[in-house]
Structure 1
Amino acid sequence: MPSSVVNHFIYFPETEILRIIYQSGAVYEYFKVPPEIIGKFKEARSKGQFLNKVIKPRFEYRKIE
């Protein structure tokens, strides 16, 4: 099911950076996100809810676009 919040995401395991491309076109990077969180994110029925409840509160991030 497509997300109304997340357009696409890329995970860089060597640096544990999660790059989120939002539907709005904004791009953010979340730092030190462990692989087990990415696994749960991939399986999440709602990417937006998982992002808001699990990733945003726990991991530092910055807007890159």
Structure 2
Amino acid sequence: MRRQAVTSSNISEVGYDENSRTLEVLFSNGSLYQYFDVPPQIYAELERAGSIGQYLNANIKGNFRYARV
């Protein structure tokens, strides 16, 4: 999956695969997580968020299945 760099104190890169609806988040500490069944609109909102980390915590963590890769 191709990821893009983001401006965030805790997140380095994010990527999204529309076919599998998988969001991939690379944290600044090197941890890589995949979140499953994420709708495209949620990823679009994440990209536009003023704070990627706050959006992730408020709208993605705890709402979607995930795995550390």
Higher relative contact order (CA 8 A, sep 6+): 1
Report the equivalent of 2:28. 23
Question: 28, 44, 68: which one pairs with 1:39?
Answer: 44
| Sequence identity percentage | 34
Question: Partners in 1 of 2:63 and 2:23 — Cα distance?
Answer: 13
* 1:52 and 2:64 are equivalent in the alignment: no
- 1:14-62: CA deviation from partner (whole Å, max 9, x where unpaired): 0000010001100000000000001100000100000111000210101
Name the CA distance, whole Å, in 2 between partners of 1:60 and 1:5: 20
Please give the TM-score of this superposition, normalised by the length of structure 1: 0.94
Alpha-carbon distance in 1 for matches of 2:7, 2:36: 24
Per-residue deviation at 1:6?
Answer: 1.0
As a proportion of its length, which structure holds more helix? 1
Please, which runs of 5 or more residues in structure 1 have no aligned partner?
Answer: none
